[in-house]
């Protein structure tokens, strides 16, 4: 196949993958709306570290290094309450896409935690 043909096949593949992702997103939203997600304690840095570990083979194939940086100031991290599946899905998609589009480079996930301000109506930590 000549270069023009290869480009057309690549474009068709890219469009089909994008359409598949949109379908998966709609299915996820439907599933999430149909279920009440339980808020539980979770550890964001541990979850991100596990995702980076899982994506390491993909990154190695791209000659890309993965790193995690946690910025928390002087205060130890408290417990976090939320919906871990939603957090996992968001981080996995972001890091997975970063790895796919980074060749011979580095992908760093930086988690920055800060205490809520006094004026804030939230009583939980923000991430």
Mind listing the pLDDT tens digit for each residue in 42-98?
A: 899 999 999 999 999 989 999 999 999 998 777 777 778 887 877 888 888 889 888
pLDDT at 22: 72
**Comparison of pLDDT for 49 and 13, the residue scoring more:** 49
Query: How is the chain split into domains, by residue range?
Result: 1-36, 37-127
pLDDT at 112: 85
In what helix (H) or strand (E) does residue 66 lie, and over which residues does it extend? strand 65-71
Q: What is the pTM of this model?
A: 0.64
Give the bridge partners for 126, in sequence order: 114
pLDDT at 100 over 90: no
Q: What tokens does 116 get?
A: 């809520």
Does the domain at residues 37-127 carry the CATH identifier 3.30.565.10? yes
pLDDT at 33: 63
């Amino acid at each position: 196949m000549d270069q023009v043909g290869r480009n057309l096949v690549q474009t068709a593949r890219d469009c089909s993958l994008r359409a598949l992702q949109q379908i998966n997103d709609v299915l996820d939203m439907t599933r999430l709306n149909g279920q009440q997600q339980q808020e539980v304690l979770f550890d964001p840095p541990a979850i991100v570290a596990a995702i980076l570990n899982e994506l390491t083979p993909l990154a190695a194939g791209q000659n890309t290094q993965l790193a995690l940086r946690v910025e928390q100031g002087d205060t130890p991290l408290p417990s976090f309450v939320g919906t871990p599946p939603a957090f996992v899905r968001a981080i996995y998609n972001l890091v997975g896409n970063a790895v796919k589009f980074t060749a011979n480079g580095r992908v760093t996930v930086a988690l920055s935690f800060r205490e809520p301000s006094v004026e804030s109506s939230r009583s939980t930590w923000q991430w």
